[in-house]
Amino acid sequence: MATTTASLEGTVLEAAAHLYVWALKDIPQDLRDALRAARERETSVVGIRVLETIRRNVEIADEQRNLVCQDTGIAVFYCRVGEHFPLHPVGIQRALEAGTERATVEHPLRSNTVHALTRVHTGANVGYRVPIVHWQFVPGWDGLDVKCVPKGSGSENMSFLKMLVPADGVNGIKRFVLESIVEAGGKPCPPGIVGIGIGGSADYALHLAKEAIARPIGTRNPDPLVAELEDELYGLLNETGIGPMGLGGDVTVLQCHIEHADTHMTLNPVAVNYQCWAARRASAHIAPDGTVDYDREA
Please give the backbone phi and psi of residue 240, each rounded to the nearest 5 degrees, phi first: -70, -25
Shared domain for 80 and 198, answered yes or no, is no
112 alpha-carbon distance from chain centroid: 17
Domain count of the fold of the chain:
2
Domain that holds residue 94: 5-24+69-150+280-295
Q: Is the residue at 45 inside a domain?
A: no
Please give the backbone phi and psi of residue 165, each rounded to the nearest 5 degrees, phi first: -105, 155
User: Which residues have a Cβ under 8 Å from the Cβ of 49 and sit 6 or more positions away?
Assistant: none
Shared domain for 137 and 90, answered yes or no, is yes
Q: Rounded distance, CA 263 to CA 281, Å?
A: 29
Q: Is the residue at 182 inside a domain?
A: yes
Shared domain for 174 and 290, answered yes or no, is no
pLDDT value at residue 85: 98
pLDDT value at residue 119: 97
DSSP states along 165-196? -GGGHHHHHHHHHHHHHHHHTTTT-SSEEEEE
Q: Rounded distance, CA 114 to CA 87, Å?
A: 30
Q: Is the residue at 146 inside a domain?
A: yes
Kindly report the pTM of this predicted structure. Answer: 0.94
Q: Is the residue at 109 inside a domain?
A: yes
Please give the backbone phi and psi of residue 295, each rounded to the nearest 5 degrees, phi first: -120, 115
Q: Is the residue at 42 inside a domain?
A: no
Three-state SS sequence of 276-288: CCCCCCEEEEECC
Shared domain for 210 and 264, answered yes or no, is yes
Shared domain for 289 and 176, answered yes or no, is no
Shared domain for 119 and 188, answered yes or no, is no
Q: Rounded distance, CA 222 to CA 114, Å?
A: 39
Shared domain for 224 and 256, answered yes or no, is yes
Q: Is the residue at 46 inside a domain?
A: no
Please give the backbone phi and psi of residue 48, each rounded to the nearest 5 degrees, phi first: -60, -45
pLDDT value at residue 297: 75
Shared domain for 120 and 194, answered yes or no, is no
Please say whether the beta carbons of 226 and 260 come within 8 A: yes
Q: Rounded distance, CA 201 to CA 127, Å?
A: 27
Q: Is the residue at 41 inside a domain?
A: no
* Rounded (10°) CA dihedral 46, 32, 134, 155: -10
Q: What are the 10-residue block averages of pLDDT along the chain, 298 residues in total?
A: 81 98 96 97 98 98 95 96 97 98 96 97 97 98 97 95 97 98 97 98 98 96 98 98 97 98 97 97 97 87
* CA atoms in the 13 A half-sphere facing the CB of 79: 28
Shared domain for 131 and 11, answered yes or no, is yes
Q: What angle do CA 298, 92, 97 make, to 5 degrees?
A: 90
In this structure, are strands 282-286 and 268-275 parallel, antiparallel, or unpaired? unpaired
Shared domain for 119 and 106, answered yes or no, is yes
Shared domain for 139 and 157, answered yes or no, is no
Please say whether the beta carbons of 48 and 42 come within 8 A: yes
Q: Is the residue at 30 inside a domain?
A: no
Shared domain for 15 and 104, answered yes or no, is yes
* Rounded (10°) CA dihedral 204, 112, 146, 34: 80
pLDDT value at residue 1: 43
SS3 assignment, position 164? strand
